[in-house]
Structure formats: structure tokens, C-alpha cells
């Protein structure tokens, strides 16, 4: 960090001297912190402050949710919306600072002086993009929460953790050093644990929160090990300094560090085989599910891989590991989604599958693949938040999560049906919705490098995606009325965010060229090409035809597949996602707990308790013996006292 006197004339220095800014890249020919116009200069002087307040504001104001909820139950919700709106606007105002320019990094005063570690904010296209995704999706989810959680008695606790969640995710993606990044990484995990188990009076919710906490801890340990190994090799936690160091002198332990960080991302982003916590996380409130799946928590792992991609992309083994993990995850999770009957668990497995596609795409290793991943992060954030919020409206209206009891809701919930249709079409990759454009980019990136195995995994997962998403829509809205077809209309606060997200799902696909310029990508046309169209057509046709045969046309019955021995086995295998969760329960829950109880019996009961009882009985026996010396007869006591005095005098004379 330059000394105060070395700062260029257009850099910002606060009066207190605690906040300093590196030279910002010119924007349209002028320094970013220019003061040519009084009003514009005031706005631009706030850029460094906004970079901090973007994530500090939600975190610092989160405790206010408790007194606000006590004053007026709904006050906490609207306070959270106001804070989140300010945070989102601040994130949006960071866009001009980095658009089409080199990265600018803002440093604050030293955080840990002994290790020379600064608390810093890294502003570049990736971090600003992710901060906007987290804050804007968070804002819509909080608006929705005001209707969904209106009758919940614990609104103070709910909005406290929701604001902390949004602020922690924004802080995570804007962190300039890995130690600060890890602090926010753990804060995000803590918030997810608290919100998944929000209704802790339900045993299933309490177990789901604990399961998420423990499973993600596995990845967190590996991530911490990777960060510490990087520090030992480079002597710094600063991300940009590490990047420069590794470019100039790569370390022999780089592959091990990269694999450790991959395991960390696998835990947070629910990648196979650490995916088991995410379906059970549906026990939390639906707005929580939307926030976790669309903007926070699970995107943190993909962001970590994207952030470290330039440092590790030269490692072929690491890229291969990304392709293997992402490919297996995308196909296995999509298969599980096709067999689920719970409205939210289908979407949970869908999220796992789409995250697998992102990891798979990063494994391609090219700049275009990296950009395609960012576009899919954006499109997935929009349509997955949309689908979860629509699912929440359906659950709120029908009182059930079982899709087998639903049906015919397009009549009673027409707006929700239209929004769900947009979300499903986008998830399926049907033009002109956003999912189509991001998946086209992924296909193009794989075809450019002739990576046909990852492409086969992507096509297979996408075929299954079309099938399960259409099935989801049909069972809820399109088939004949089910047991829970009668419903009440949702409030405007729940409908408005879904309409905004539906519109965004249509518009986001056309943002690829502006996004390419923002990300400094040499993309001059939309990714439509004759080379990729056969793959897209195959995905849509092969995915839709079996669905149509099984459901709307009724030519085949799903139950018919289960009658054969092979069909029953395949269905069970897909429904249980290769029995990974059952294996963990067997090894780490049943067997481990049994072993711990055995150890408890032997050590606690057999050894420690035995020693305690032996000591007690020994003291009792000794007390019985010494009790004989105290008879209670005065003459006997006086005699013993006299003998003691004589013995003491004799001892003094001798000495």
C-alpha cells in the first residue's frame, strides 16, 4: 500500500487518514474521483465509502430488527427492505467505477497489525457483479418476506439473520484478502444454519440446520487449510498480491492448495458428494430457500472458484477435477429432481444440478467459459429466485408441499402460473429467456475447445432439466384439479417480486453484450451459431417428448416403470441420489454414534465412574476407621490433648 505522500493527486484520503484509495482507473478519459462538477464530485467521493457501506450497512443495522419487531411486528420487515434497498443502490453505483476498466482496490487501516493484514475491499467486474446479484435479489426476497412471514411471531430474529446474510454475502464477494473472505464465509454459513433451522421447534428443521452446518464444515476445514498454505507460500493474504506472486514464481504445492479450495467450494455449493445438506435445507422458510439458492451461500463456492480461476487455470489436474465434480453433480442431481414429489425439493436438486453446470463450465478453463459461468450465475439467480417465490405462493395458498395433492392452480393463481411458466422456460433453456443464452454460451465454450465429455454431461443434465421442470409445472398448475386446488390469493408484497423477476428473466438474456463489455470479454455477437443449435434442439426435444408422453398425453404411466425390477432399482437410485445420504447416515450417524456410545460406556462408565465410586467408598472406609479416634468422652479427649502437648514439648526440647 503506498504511503500517504505517494498517493496521486486524484486519490481520496479521509480527514482522519484511516481510509485510503489506490489510483482508480480512468473512466471515459477522466480519473474516477474527479471533481469537475460539484454534485458529481460529491457522488464520486462517496465511491470508496459506498464500497464499505454496501455490506457494512446491512450487518450493522441487523440488530435493529429486534427492537423494531417489538415496537411493531411489521416494522422490522420494512426496515430491512429500506436497508437492503440502500445497500443495493450502493452496489449499483459501484458499476461505473469498474466498467470496462482495470481493477481498483481500496484499503482501510490495518486489521491485524502483527501480520500486516489490511481489511480491504476489492473492486473489479467480478466482485461488483456478484455484490449486485446478492443485494438486488436480497431486496426482492425481503419485500416478499413481508407478506410471507407477516404472521410469524419471531420476525425480529428472522430479519436480523436475513440482513446479516445479505451483508455477509456482499462482504464475501468484495473482500480483498482471503482471511477477511473466510470470516464472511463462516458468517454466511452461520446465517444459513440459523435460517434453515428457523422453525427449530420442528425436529426436522432443527436436524436440517445441524446437517447443513456439519456438512459445510467439512469443506470449510479444507478451505482454511488451503488459505493457510497459500499464506505460508506467499507471505500474504491479499488476493491481488497472491495472484502476482503465483504468476512470477508458482509454488510446487499449488495443486494441493487448489484441490483443498475445490473441496471448500464443494461444501458451500453443494457439489457431489457434499450435496446432501441442500435438499433438507428446504425445511426453512421459503424466502430463505430463495435467498440461499439464488444469491447467497451456494453461489459463494462458485465465486471462490471463479476468483481463483486465473491462479489455478494452468493446472490441468485441477480443471479435470472441476469437470468431474461438476459433471457428476449436474447429472445425479437432475435425475433426483425428476423423481421428487416435494415442490421445494425439486427446486433444491435443480439448484445442485445448475451449480454443477457452473463448476463444469469453469473446468473448461477458457476465458469464454469463465464468462459463460458468470452469465449462468446471473440467469440462474433470477429464474431460481422466481421459481422459489412462486413455490412459496403455492404453498402459502394450498398449505402443502406435496405436488401430488396439487393441480389446476392456473385458474386460482393465474399471475403465479404465468410467472412460474417464465421461470420454467428459462430453466429449461428455451429462447428467448435468459437460461437459453447462458447455456448457449456454455455449449459454445465447450465446442471451441473440443471438450466433448463435459459437453455430453451438460447435454444429459439439460435434457433431464427440461423433463423435471415441465413435470413440476404440470403437476402444480396444468393437470386436473387435485385435493388442494382451492386456494386464496397472495398479497401484493408477494406478487410484486415475482413479476419483477419474471420480467428480468426475459430481459437478462439480452444483457450478454453489455456484460461482455463490463467483464472485458471480446464478445461481439450473441452466441447463436449453427454449430451449437443441434445440441440445443436435442436438449429441448429429447427432454420434452418423454415428459409429454408420460403426463399431458398419458401415453405412458410413470407407475409402469416401477413394475419392472430394473425400473424400480433405477428409480430408487435416482430418488436417493446414489444413496450418498444413506451412506453418510450409516457411517457417520448410526455407526459413529454407536461407536461413541460404546466409548462412553467404557471410558465414562467403565473407567471414570468406577474410579469416582472407588474413591468415594475408600473415603467412607477411611472415615469409619478414623471415627473411632473421636469417641465423644471428655476425659479421653483431655488425655489425648495432654499426650499431644507433651510430645510437642519434647520435640521442641530435642530440636
What is the mean predicted confidence (pLDDT) over 243-266?
90
**597 or 27, which is more confident:** 597
Provide the pLDDT for residue 229: 93
Q: For residue 194, what pLDDT band results from cuts at 50, 70 and 90?
A: very high
Provide the pLDDT for residue 24: 39
Q: For residue 327, what pLDDT band results from cuts at 50, 70 and 90?
A: very high
3-class DSSP state for residue 432?
coil
Most confident of 34-48, 478-492, 496-510: 496-510
Q: Give me the percent of the chain exceeding a pLDDT of 90.
A: 46
Q: For residue 461, what pLDDT band results from cuts at 50, 70 and 90?
A: very high
Alpha carbons 223 and 264: distance in angstroms, whole number: 5
Average pLDDT, the chain: 83
Judge whether 32 and 38 are in contact, CB under 8 Å.
no
Provide the pLDDT for residue 11: 32
Provide the pLDDT for residue 28: 37
What is the mean predicted confidence (pLDDT) over 212-230?
93
> Which H or E run includes 356?
helix 343-362
| Three cell numbers written together for 200 | 427449530
What is the mean predicted confidence (pLDDT) over 181-188?
95
pLDDT at 628 over 90: no
Report the predicted TM-score, pTM, of the whole model to 2 decimal places: 0.84
237-245 contacts, C-beta under 8 A, 24 or more apart: 237/117, 237/177, 237/178, 237/179, 237/180, 238/118, 238/120, 238/176, 238/177, 239/122, 239/175, 239/176, 239/177, 239/178, 239/181, 239/307, 240/103, 240/105, 240/122, 240/176, 242/178, 242/311, 243/310, 243/311
| Three cell numbers written together for 362 | 469453469
Alpha carbons 496 and 19: distance in angstroms, whole number: 40
The closest of 300, 438, 302 to 363, measured between CA atoms, is 302
Provide the pLDDT for residue 431: 86
Domain borders along the chain are: 1-176, 313-571, 580-654
> Which H or E run includes 110?
strand 104-112
Q: What is the pLDDT of residues 290-314, one digit of tens each?
A: 999 888 889 999 999 999 998 998 8
Q: What is the pLDDT of residues 8-60, one digit of tens each?
A: 332 333 323 334 444 334 333 333 333 334 444 455 556 678 888 899 999 99
* Cβ neighbourhood burial of 560 (10 Å; 0-12, 13-18, 19+): exposed
Q: What is the pLDDT of residues 139-172, one digit of tens each?
A: 999 999 999 988 888 899 999 999 999 999 999 9
Provide the pLDDT for residue 66: 93
Q: What is the pLDDT of residues 72-100, one digit of tens each?
A: 888 999 999 999 999 999 999 888 888 76
* DSSP string of 272-305, one letter each residue: TTS-THHHHGGGS-HHHHHHHHHTSTHHHHHHHH
Alpha carbons 144 and 133: distance in angstroms, whole number: 17
* Torsions phi, psi for 594 (to 5 deg): -60, -45
Provide the pLDDT for residue 651: 85
Q: What is the pLDDT of residues 526-575, one digit of tens each?
A: 556 667 778 888 888 888 777 777 776 666 666 666 666 676 777 777 77
Q: For residue 614, what pLDDT band results from cuts at 50, 70 and 90?
A: confident
> Which H or E run includes 118?
strand 117-123
DSSP lists the bridge partners of residue 107 as 20, 120
The closest of 3, 221, 18, 12 to 119, measured between CA atoms, is 18
pLDDT at 244 over 80: yes
DSSP 101: S
| Three cell numbers written together for 95 | 458499476
| Three cell numbers written together for 58 | 446491512
Starting at the edge strand found earlier in the chain, the sheet holding 117-123 runs 20-21, 104-112, 117-123
Characterize the bridge pairing of strands 20-21 and 117-123: unpaired
DSSP 109: E
DSSP 123: E
**182 or 520, which is more confident:** 182
What is the mean predicted confidence (pLDDT) over 269-287?
92
Provide the pLDDT for residue 526: 57
Provide the pLDDT for residue 364: 93
Amino acid at each position: 500500500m503506498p504511503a500517504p505522500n505517494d498517493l496521486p493527486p486524484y486519490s481520496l484520503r479521509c480527514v482522519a487518514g484511516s481510509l485510503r484509495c489506490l489510483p482508480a482507473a480512468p473512466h471515459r478519459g477522466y480519473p474516477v474521483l474527479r471533481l469537475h462538477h460539484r454534485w458529481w464530485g460529491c457522488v464520486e467521493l462517496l465511491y470508496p465509502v459506498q464500497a464499505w457501506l454496501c455490506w457494512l450497512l446491512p450487518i450493522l443495522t441487523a440488530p435493529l430488527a429486534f427492537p423494531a419487531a417489538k415496537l411493531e411486528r411489521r416494522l422490522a420487515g420494512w426496515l430491512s427492505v429500506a436497508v437492503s434497498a440502500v445497500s443495493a443502490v450502493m452496489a449499483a453505483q459501484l458499476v461505473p467505477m469498474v466498467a470496462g476498466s482495470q481493477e481498483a482496490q481500496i484499503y482501510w487501516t490495518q486489521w491485524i497489525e502483527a501480520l500486516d493484514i489490511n481489511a480491504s475491499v476489492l473492486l473489479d467486474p467480478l466482485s461488483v457483479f456478484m455484490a449486485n446479484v446478492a443485494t438486488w435479489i436480497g431486496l426482492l426476497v425481503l419485500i416478499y418476506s413481508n407478506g410471507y412471514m407477516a404472521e410469524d411471531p419471531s420476525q425480529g430474529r428472522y430479519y436480523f439473520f436475513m440482513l446479516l446474510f445479505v451483508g455477509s454475502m456482499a462482504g464475501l464477494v468484495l473482500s480483498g484478502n482471503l482471511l477477511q473472505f473466510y470470516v464472511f464465509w463462516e458468517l454466511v454459513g452461520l446465517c444459513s444454519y440459523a435460517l434453515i433451522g428457523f422453525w427449530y421447534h420442528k425436529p426436522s428443521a432443527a436436524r436440517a440446520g445441524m446437517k447443513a452446518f456439519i456438512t459445510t464444515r467439512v469443506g470449510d476445514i479444507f478451505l482454511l487449510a488451503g488459505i493457510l498454505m497459500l499464506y505460508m507460500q506467499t507471505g500474504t493474504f491479499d488476493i491481488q498480491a497472491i495472484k502476482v506472486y503465483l504468476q512470477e514464481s508458482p509454488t510446487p504445492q499449488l495443486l494441493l492448495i487448489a484441490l483443498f479450495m475445490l473441496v471448500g467450494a464443494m461444501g458451500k455449493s453443494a457439489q457431489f458428494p457434499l450435496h446432501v445438506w441442500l435438499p433438507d435445507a428446504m425445511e426453512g422458510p421459503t424466502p430463505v430457500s430463495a435467498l440461499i439458492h439464488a444469491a447467497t451461500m451456494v453461489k459463494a463456492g462458485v465465486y471462490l472458484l471463479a476468483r481463483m480461476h486465473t491462479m489455478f487455470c494452468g493446472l490441468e489436474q485441477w480443471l479435470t477435477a472441476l469437470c468431474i465434480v461438476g459433471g457428476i453433480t449436474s447429472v445425479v442431481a437432475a435425475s433426483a429432481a425428476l423423481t421428487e414429489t416435494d415442490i421445494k425439493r425439486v427446486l433444491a436438486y435443480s439448484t445442485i444440478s445448475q451449480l454443477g453446470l457452473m463448476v463444469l463450465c469453469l473446468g473448461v478453463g477458457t476465458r469464454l467459459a469463465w464468462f459463460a459461468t458468470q452469465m449462468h450465475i446471473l440467469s440462474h439467480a433470477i429464474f431460481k429466485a422466481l421459481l422459489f417465490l412462486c413455490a412459496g405462493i403455492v404453498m402459502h395458498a394450498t398449505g402443502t408441499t406435496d405436488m401430488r395433492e396439487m393441480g389446476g392452480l392456473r385458474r386460482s393463481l393465474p399471475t403465479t402460473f404465468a410467472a412460474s411458466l417464465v421461470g420454467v422456460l428459462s430453466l429449461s433453456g428455451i429462447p428467448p429467456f435468459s437460461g437459453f443464452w447462458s447455456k448457449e454460451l456454455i455449449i459454445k465454450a465447450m465446442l471451441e475447445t473440443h471438450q466433448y465429455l463435459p459437453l455430453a454431461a451438460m447435454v444429459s443434465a439439460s435434457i433431464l432439466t427440461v423433463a423435471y421442470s415441465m413435470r413440476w409445472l404440470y403437476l402444480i398448475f396444468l393437470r386436473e384439479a387435485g385435493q388442494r386446488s382451492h386456494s386464496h390469493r397472495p398479497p401484493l408484497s408477494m406478487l410484486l417480486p415475482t413479476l419483477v423477476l419474471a420480467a428480468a428473466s426475459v430481459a437478462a438474456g439480452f444483457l450478454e453484450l453489455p456484460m461482455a463489455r463490463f467483464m472485458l470479454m471480446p464478445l461481439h455477437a450473441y452466441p447463436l451459431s449453427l454449430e451449437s443449435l443441434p445440441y440445443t434442439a436435442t436438449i429441448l426435444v429429447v427432454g420434452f417428448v418423454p415428459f409429454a408422453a408420460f403426463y399431458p398425453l398419458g401415453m405412458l404411466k410413470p407407475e409402469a416403470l416401477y413394475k419392472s425390477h430394473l425400473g424400480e432399482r433405477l428409480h430408487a437410485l435416482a430418488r436417493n441420489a446414489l444413496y450418498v445420504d444413506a451412506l453418510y447416515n450409516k457411517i457417520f450417524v448410526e455407526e459413529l454414534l454407536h461407536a461413541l456410545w460404546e466409548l462412553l460406556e467404557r471410558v465414562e462408565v467403565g473407567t471414570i465412574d468406577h474410579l469416582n465410586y472407588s474413591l468415594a467408598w475408600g473415603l467412607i472406609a477411611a472415615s469409619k476407621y478414623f471415627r473411632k479416634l473421636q469417641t465423644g468422652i471428655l476425659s479421653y479427649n483431655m488425655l489425648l490433648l495432654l499426650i499431644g502437648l507433651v510430645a510437642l514439648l519434647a520435640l521442641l526440647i530435642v530440636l
